[in-house]
Copies of this chain bind each other. A is one copy, B any other.
Amino acid sequence: MPKIVNHSERREEVVEATRRVILREGIEAATTRAIAREAGYSNGVLTHYFADKDDIMLSALHLSHRHIVERLRGKLAGLTGLAALRELLLDNLPLDDERAEESGLEIGFWSRSMTSPALHQAQRAEAEELRYLVRSLLGTAAEAGEIATGEDLDDVTERLLALVDGLSVHHLLYPDRLGAGRLERLLGAELDRLQSSSS
C-alpha cells in the first residue's frame, strides 16, 4: 500500500526549503543536496515532485513572489492611491534583513533568466503583475488629484519600478554608500516629487 501524500503540499515544503537556502546562502549554494537536507528529506525525494532542478528553482522564484504579495496584502489593507503606492514601493526595498535576502534572491534570478527561457517567462509574467498594480495605484492617485497630471503615468510606472530595482541592487552592492535610511529617503523624495510637481 503506497502512502498517500498530498503532492502539492510536499512540493511546497521543498520549495520553501529551496527559498530558505537561497536566501541564506545564495543561489549558487542551492544544490539539490542542500535543498533536500534543508527540507528534511533525502536526495531522492526530489525526483517524485519535480521534473528537474529548473522546476524547483522556478517554483522557488514563484514562491518568493507570493511571499512578497502576502506581506503586501497586509500592509496595503485600507490604503489607496498614493499612500498605497508608497507602502508598496517601500516594501519592495531591501530595508531589513528579510527583504535584503529577497532582493538578493531576485537579483540572482535576473542573470539566470537571461539564458533560461522558462525562467524568463515566469519572471516576465510576475513582473507584469507588479507593474499593473503600480500603474493602477498611480491611476487612482491621479484621479484623486494626489499627483500632478503632467506626466504619462505609464512612464512614471516604469521610472518608479526601475528606481526601486536600481536602488535595491546598489544597496546590496554598495551598502556603505547607500544605507537603508538613505534608500528610504531617496524613494520617498521621488514620490514626493509626484505631488510637488503638481503644485
B115 A172 Cβ-Cβ under 8 A: no
Nearest chain-B residue to A197 (Cβ)? B197
Residues of B within 8 A of A2 (CB): 44
A160-174, CB < 8 A from B:
161-167, 169-170, 172-174
Question: In the complex this chain forms, how many copies of it are found?
Answer: 4
Tell me whether A68 is interfacial, beta carbon within 8 Å. no
Confirm or deny: A9 has a beta carbon within 8 angstroms of a beta carbon on chain B. no
The interface residues of chain B lying within 8 Å CB-to-CB of A29 are 115
A73 within 8 A of B: no
CA distance A113 to B108 in the complex (A): 10
Binds B, one of A50-58, A80-88, A120-128: A120-128
| Residue A41 is within 8 A (CB to CB) of chain B in the complex | no
Stretch of A59-67, A139-147, A182-190 that contacts chain B: A182-190
Question: In the bound complex, do residue B169 and residue A131 qualify as a contact, i.e. CB atoms below 8 Å apart?
Answer: no
Q: A175-186 vs B: 1/0 string, CB under 8 Å?
A: 001100010011
**Could you write out 18 A-B pairs with CB less than 8 Å apart?**
A2-B44, A26-B114, A28-B115, A104-B111, A107-B110, A107-B114, A108-B114, A124-B174, A128-B177, A131-B177, A155-B182, A155-B185, A158-B178, A158-B186, A159-B190, A161-B166, A164-B166, A193-B193
User: Lowest 7 A-B CB distances belong to which pairs?
Assistant: A166-B166, A162-B166, A26-B115, A108-B111, A165-B166, A162-B167, A107-B111
